[in-house]
Structure 1
Amino acid sequence: MDIEKVRSRFIKHFDGKTGNIYMSPGRINLIGEHTDYNGGFVFPGAVDKGIMAEVRPNGLNTVILYSIDLKDKTEFKVDDPKGPKATWARYIYGIVQEMRALGVDVKGFNAAFYGDVPLGAGMSSSAALESCFAFALNDLFADGRISKWDLVLAGQATEHKYVGVNCGIMDQFASVFGQKGKLMRLDCRSREFQYFPFDPQGYKLVLVNSKVKHELVGSPYNDRRQSCENVVAALNKQFPDKKYETLRDATWAELDAVKGAVSEEDYKRAHFVLGEKDRVLAVSDALEAGDYETVGKKMYETHDGLSKEYEVSCEELDYLVDIARENGVTGSRIMGGGFGGCTINLVKDEVYDKFIADAKKKFSAKYGHEPEVYPVVISDGSHKVC
C-alpha cells in the first residue's frame, strides 16, 4: 500500500502536521463456507490488500474524516448520539462508540484513509476499515490495553448497530489476528483458533472475480439456514437423549437416520455441511504436512458441494471453475456466500499465465466482459505502519 498517498492527502486536508499510519487487511477464506451458523470451522487469512489510515488527535471533541477514494470529507462529535449519514463514515462512528463503551476515553481526531481492497470481491473491505480504526484508537487513546478479541467484537457490533448488517465474526477476526504466511482455523462456536502454515512455494493464490451478482427472489441465505435448522429439529426428535445445537453435532450415521423425516432439499443442505466439516479438518492436516495437492482437491470438492448440494453457485462461477480444471489448476472454488463474486484458486506457477489468459478470453467470449484478477499474498493483520 502507498504510504505517501495517505501522508500527502493528510497533510493537504489538515494542518500540515503528520500523525500515525495504521493498516488493516482484507481477507480470503480458503475453505469452510456456510459453516459459521452451523457451529463449524472457517479457514481465513489476512491478505496484502486493505485499508490504510493516518490518524492524529486534534485536541477537539470532533472527529474529522477524509476519504481519499471518495474525495469526501465529513465530521461528527465524539458523543453525537446519531452520527453521520454517509455510510462510509458510519463504520468509523460505530467504532468510536464501541471503543467508548469499552471504557476508552476517545477524543477528537483527524484521519485520512484509502483502500486497495477490490470492492465486490468478497474480501471484506468494511471489516478492514473497522479494524484499522479500532486498532488506531486503541493505540492512541488506550495504550493498546484493549484486547484483540474486543477489537474484533467492536467491529462486528459496528456492523450490527450502526450499518445494519448482521454479520458473523470471521471478517473482523481475520483482519485483526492475521499473520504473514499463516491461515487460521477458527471454531465459530467456541472462538478458539489455531494458526496453520501457508507458504506454498511454487504456487500462487489468486481470486478471479466474475463481476456477477445475481438478483435473487426471496431470501436464499435464510432458506438455507432454515434447511439446516429443520434437520437439527429432526435429529433432536429422533435422538432425544442427545442435544443437537447445530449440524456440527451430527454424525453421518445420524444424518442418514433422519433422511426420511426431512425433505430431499434439506437433506442435501445438511449433507454439504457435514462434508465441509470433514474437508476443513482434512485441509488442516494437509497444511501441516505441506500437502497442497490435497488442499486443492478439497477446494474442488467444496465447490462441487456448494454448486450441487447447497446450490449457491451460478453458471458463471461454475464456468470459471471448469476453466481452472481444464488448465490443471490445483484447487478452485467459489468464495463467499454465493450467487456471484469470486473464485479462489491455488495455481502452480507453471500454469498460472495460461490459466489467467484462458479465463479472461473464454469468460469474455461467453459473458461479454473480462473477469478481474487479484493475486493475493497471506499477510499480517492490523498494525501500526509508522
Structure 2
Amino acid sequence: MKRKIVSEKFQELFGTPGDFYFSPGRVNLIGEHTDYNGGFVLPGAIDKGMLACIKENGTDKIRAFAVDLNEYEEFGMEEADKPEQSWARYIFGVVREITKRGGKVKGFDTAFSGDVPLGAGLSSSAALESTYAFALNEIFGLGIDKFELAKIGQATEHNYCGVKCGIMDQFASVFGKEGHLIRLDCRSLEYEYVPFDPVGYKVVLIDSVVKHELASSAYNKRRESCETVVKAIQKRHPEVELLRDADMNMLAEVKGEVSAEDYMRAEYVIEEIQRLLDACAALKRGDYKTVGEKMYGTHHGMSKLYEVSCEELDFLNDIAKECGVTGSRVMGGGFGGCTINLVPEDKYDMFIDKAVKEFTHKFGKEPKVYPVRIGNGSRKL
C-alpha cells in the first residue's frame, strides 16, 4: 500500500519512476543497558520500516519529499548546505558521511514513507539512515560493505542529528535476517545469527504512550554508577575493563566500597549479560519457556535494580504475567516506551483485550498495540 502512494507521489513530483529500497526497524528481545558496558544485545529486524523511491537527477542537488509529513526540501551536498528540517538531516547526514569516506554521491530525487511507529523505540531513524546508506551505495556503485553502512548511519546520528547512539539499531536494520535474531558483541562487534522461529507464539509490542524520553541525566547517572563500580573492582582485578568482564563474586568483594545504588546498578548489568547468554542458548534448543523467564527477569531488574521502568510499564508487565504470557519486559532504555511480549497464540486475543481495557481504565489513555514479525534487513525491492 505504502509503495503505491510513494510511487504516485514520486511520479507526480519528478515526472519519472524510480527504484525502491527498504530498511526495517528493530526490536531487542533481551539485553538492555548492556551496550555501554561492553556486553551483548539481541536485536532482530522487523516487518515494519522505511520505504524510499530514489533516482539520480543529473544535478548536484537533493530533492526530497517526506510523504507522511507532506513536506518537501531541496538542498546541496556540501557541509554548508545542512537543511533545516530534522528529517532531511538524516538524508543529508548519510550523504556527508559517505563523502567523508571517499564515496562520490551525485544529486538525486527521493520520496519516502514509513510504517515504523515514531517514538515507540523501534528505531525509525536508524531505518531511514540504513535505507539511504544502502540505496546510495547501490545506485552509485560505491562498494561499501554492510558493516560500514551501519557505521555511516550511526555517524549520521552523532554528527548531524545530535544523538550519541550505539550501533545496535543500524546494525540490526542492515544485517537483519528472517527467522533469526543477531547476538551482537558490543565490544568487538562480532555477531552471530541465533535462530528465532517461535511457532505457536506471537511477538507483540504494547506501547505505554508514555513519552519515551531517555531522561538523559538519569541515563548518564547510571553509566557513571557502572564506571564507579568498575574502578573499585579494578583495584583487585586490573584486567576488568568494563562490567562485562566482572562477575558477581568480584562485585561482592567491593560491596562495602561503593554506594548501595551503584552496587544495584552493577548487579543488574552483570546479571543481564548472563541472562542474554542463557536466552541465546535456550533459543538454540528451541526452549521458548526459558527465553520467556529471562525476559521477565530483565523486567524485574530494570524495574527494581536499574530503576528505569515506570508505573505504566510495570502494570503492563503484571497483566502479561496474569494472562500467562510466556515472556514480557520493558524494551529500550526505559522511562516509557513499550513492553515486548512473547505470547502463546491461544492467549493472544485475551491478553490484548485485557491489557488495552485495564490500562485505559487505570491511566485514562489507550495503549497502542504493534504485532511484529522478524524479517530481513536493508534491500532493494
- Normalised by the length of structure 1, the TM-score is 0.97
Q: Trace 1:226-305 onto structure 2 (pairs within 5 A).
A: 226-239=224-237, 242-305=238-301
Once residues 73 and 259 of structure 1 are traced to their aligned partners in structure 2, the CA distance between those partners, rounded to angstroms, is: 57
Once residues 205 and 344 of structure 1 are traced to their aligned partners in structure 2, the CA distance between those partners, rounded to angstroms, is: 7
- The answer to whether the Cα contact below 8 Å between 2:212 and 2:334 also exists between their aligned partners in 1 is no
| Structure 1 consecutive aligned stretches of length 4 or more whose deviation exceeds 6 Å | 214-218
Deviations 1:33-86 (A, max 9, x none): 000000000000000000000000000000000000010000111225241011
Q: Which letter maps to 2:46?
A: V
Q: Which residue of 1 aligns with 2:2?
A: 2
Structure 1 position 363 matched with structure 2 position 359: yes
- The answer to whether the Cα contact below 8 Å between 1:53 and 1:114 also exists between their aligned partners in 2 is yes
- The answer to whether the Cα contact below 8 Å between 2:121 and 2:212 also exists between their aligned partners in 1 is no
Q: Which letter maps to 1:191?
A: L
Q: Give 1:243 deviation, angstroms.
A: 2.4
Q: Give 1:257 deviation, angstroms.
A: 0.5
Deviations 1:281-338 (A, max 9, x none): 1011111001111100000000000000000000000000000000000000000000
Structure 1 position 316 matched with structure 2 position 315: no
Q: Trace 1:1-386 onto structure 2 (pairs within 5 A).
A: 2-15=2-15, 17-142=16-141, 145-213=143-211, 219-239=217-237, 242-385=238-381
- The answer to whether the Cα contact below 8 Å between 1:105 and 1:142 also exists between their aligned partners in 2 is no
Once residues 18 and 10 of structure 1 are traced to their aligned partners in structure 2, the CA distance between those partners, rounded to angstroms, is: 7
- The answer to whether the Cα contact below 8 Å between 2:64 and 2:73 also exists between their aligned partners in 1 is yes
Cα separation, partners in 2 of 1:257 and 1:209, compared to 1, 3 Å: same
Once residues 245 and 340 of structure 2 are traced to their aligned partners in structure 1, the CA distance between those partners, rounded to angstroms, is: 29
- The answer to whether the Cα contact below 8 Å between 1:7 and 1:18 also exists between their aligned partners in 2 is yes
Q: Which letter maps to 1:57?
A: E
Q: Which letter maps to 1:45?
A: G
Cα separation, partners in 2 of 1:188 and 1:331, compared to 1, 3 Å: same
Q: Which residues of structure 1 form unaligned runs of 5+?
A: none
1:312 is paired with a residue of what secondary structure? coil
Once residues 308 and 180 of structure 1 are traced to their aligned partners in structure 2, the CA distance between those partners, rounded to angstroms, is: 34
Q: Which letter maps to 2:101?
A: L
Once residues 196 and 217 of structure 1 are traced to their aligned partners in structure 2, the CA distance between those partners, rounded to angstroms, is: 32
2:184 is paired with a residue of what secondary structure? strand
Q: Which residues of structure 2 form unaligned runs of 5+?
A: none
Deviations 1:182-211 (A, max 9, x none): 100000000000001111000000000000
Deviations 1:61-113 (A, max 9, x none): 00000000010000111225241011000000000011112222100000000
Q: Which letter maps to 1:5?
A: I
- Normalised by the length of structure 2, the TM-score is 0.98
2:209 is paired with a residue of what secondary structure? strand
How many residues matched? 381
- The answer to whether the Cα contact below 8 Å between 1:104 and 1:142 also exists between their aligned partners in 2 is no
Q: Give 1:142 deviation, angstroms.
A: 2.0
Q: Give 1:117 deviation, angstroms.
A: 0.3
Once residues 101 and 209 of structure 2 are traced to their aligned partners in structure 1, the CA distance between those partners, rounded to angstroms, is: 39
2:181 is paired with a residue of what secondary structure? strand
Once residues 262 and 127 of structure 1 are traced to their aligned partners in structure 2, the CA distance between those partners, rounded to angstroms, is: 37
Once residues 152 and 216 of structure 2 are traced to their aligned partners in structure 1, the CA distance between those partners, rounded to angstroms, is: 31
Deviations 1:330-384 (A, max 9, x none): 0000000001010000000000000000000000000001100000000000000
Q: Which letter maps to 2:184?
A: L
Cα separation, partners in 2 of 1:107 and 1:215, compared to 1, 3 Å: closer
Cα separation, partners in 2 of 1:216 and 1:246, compared to 1, 3 Å: closer
1:34 is paired with a residue of what secondary structure? coil
- The answer to whether the Cα contact below 8 Å between 2:6 and 2:113 also exists between their aligned partners in 1 is yes
Q: Which letter maps to 1:3?
A: R
- The answer to whether the Cα contact below 8 Å between 2:64 and 2:110 also exists between their aligned partners in 1 is yes
Q: Which letter maps to 2:94?
A: I
Once residues 243 and 39 of structure 2 are traced to their aligned partners in structure 1, the CA distance between those partners, rounded to angstroms, is: 8
Cα separation, partners in 2 of 1:363 and 1:264, compared to 1, 3 Å: same
1:271 is paired with a residue of what secondary structure? helix
Q: Give 1:220 deviation, angstroms.
A: 0.3
Deviations 1:219-273 (A, max 9, x none): 100000000000001011233xx32211011121111001111000000000000
Once residues 212 and 173 of structure 2 are traced to their aligned partners in structure 1, the CA distance between those partners, rounded to angstroms, is: 27
Once residues 212 and 269 of structure 1 are traced to their aligned partners in structure 2, the CA distance between those partners, rounded to angstroms, is: 23
1:211 is paired with a residue of what secondary structure? coil
Once residues 271 and 203 of structure 2 are traced to their aligned partners in structure 1, the CA distance between those partners, rounded to angstroms, is: 24
